[in-house]
Structure 1
Amino acid sequence: MDAEQPYTTKPSPWSVEETAERLTTLIAARGMTLFATIDQRAAARDAGLELRDTVLLLFGNPAAGTPVMEAAPLAALDLPLKLLVWDDEGQTQVSYVTPAELAARHHLSPALAAPLAGIDGLTDIGLSPP
């Protein structure tokens, strides 16, 4: 990944639906809270529009996120963390804002930023074949 890029995108060997299910199961298994699953394709269809298969997962751990928002109130615009699971011409991708970007954007200390870096490992595990 280019250090200048604010987003990370990783390929998934599964469909958008199965990838989202795998990630939500892992989020729960790790004791985090899944705040919302937004099927953006379904919302587009409800509006009479077409969109590639796209699901947004909002998740986190209030014990880790609350101190971040206390120190940097505008971090609440980026928290809870988000994973975008989307179809890229037949290849499922998972994208998210890099932990380094979040830390830089909100001027977080290393201690506050450290828990946010867990998204990298979470996605690595969630996208690895069993």
Structure 2
Amino acid sequence: MVHLRSSRSVEETCALTETALAAHGLQIFCTVDHSGAAEAAGLVMPPTKLVIFGSPKAGTPLMVAAPTLAIDLPLKALVWEDADGQVWLSYNQPQYLQERHGFPTEMLQNLSGAAAILQKVVDPAV
């Protein structure tokens, strides 16, 4: 799993993540506000949001090659705050998904673009 340090709040990092992904043609399927749901249940947890996103054009061939990949697609980006107040953007490495589901290595490119976009959210110089 990749953990990228963010200098912004969870709200800002989440909004930037959604904007960057959409600007590159990826569909934002939904954003799950885990901490908001916890609050609604009378519980407390640090700010935590999960952005669920993808591209059927990129993901469908992968799921045809490795049907179990459907459990990990659409892709997810977790924006969360740790106990020290540090905000992180976390996601699964494309190689991990390839090893887990066994799709052909030459198809890694279908996922690697999303990782590059997420890296730029927290480090625009990349």
The interval holding the TM-score normalised by the smaller chain is: over 0.9
Question: 1:111 offset after TM fit, Å?
Answer: 2.6
> Could you tell which deviates more after superposition, 39-48 or 120-129?
120-129
Instruction: Name the structure 2 match of 1:4.
Output: none
Identity %: 42
Counterpart secondary structure, 2:73: coil
Which residue identity is paired with 2:105? P
Contact 2:21 2:114 in 1 (8 A): no
Instruction: Name the structure 1 match of 2:91.
Output: 96
TM-score, length of structure 2 as denominator length: 0.93
Question: 1:116 offset after TM fit, Å?
Answer: 0.9
TM-score, length of structure 1 as denominator length: 0.90
Instruction: Name the structure 2 match of 1:126.
Output: 121
Give me the whole-angstrom Cα distance separating, in 2, the residues matched to 1:110 and 1:104: 9
Question: 1:128 offset after TM fit, Å?
Answer: 2.0
Going from structure 1 to structure 2, the CA distance change for 1:126 and 1:112 (only over 3 Å counts) comes to same
Structure 2 residues without counterparts, runs of 5 or longer: none
Instruction: Name the structure 2 match of 1:77.
Output: 71
Give me the whole-angstrom Cα distance separating, in 2, the residues matched to 1:104 and 1:114: 14
Instruction: Name the structure 2 match of 1:3.
Output: none
Give me the whole-angstrom Cα distance separating, in 2, the residues matched to 1:80 and 1:39: 17
Give me the whole-angstrom Cα distance separating, in 1, the residues matched to 2:106 and 2:58: 10
Instruction: Name the structure 2 match of 1:59.
Output: 53
Instruction: Name the structure 1 match of 2:111.
Output: 116
After superposition, what is the alpha-carbon deviation per residue over 1:63-83, rounded to whole angstroms, capped at 9, x for unaligned? 000011111111011000000
Structure 1 residues without counterparts, runs of 5 or longer: 1-6
Which residue identity is paired with 1:111? E
Question: 1:91 offset after TM fit, Å?
Answer: 0.9
Give me the whole-angstrom Cα distance separating, in 2, the residues matched to 1:83 and 1:61: 14
RMSD: 1.2
Residues 1:36 and 2:30 are matched in the alignment = yes
Instruction: Name the structure 2 match of 1:14.
Output: 8
Give me the whole-angstrom Cα distance separating, in 2, the residues matched to 1:118 and 1:46: 35
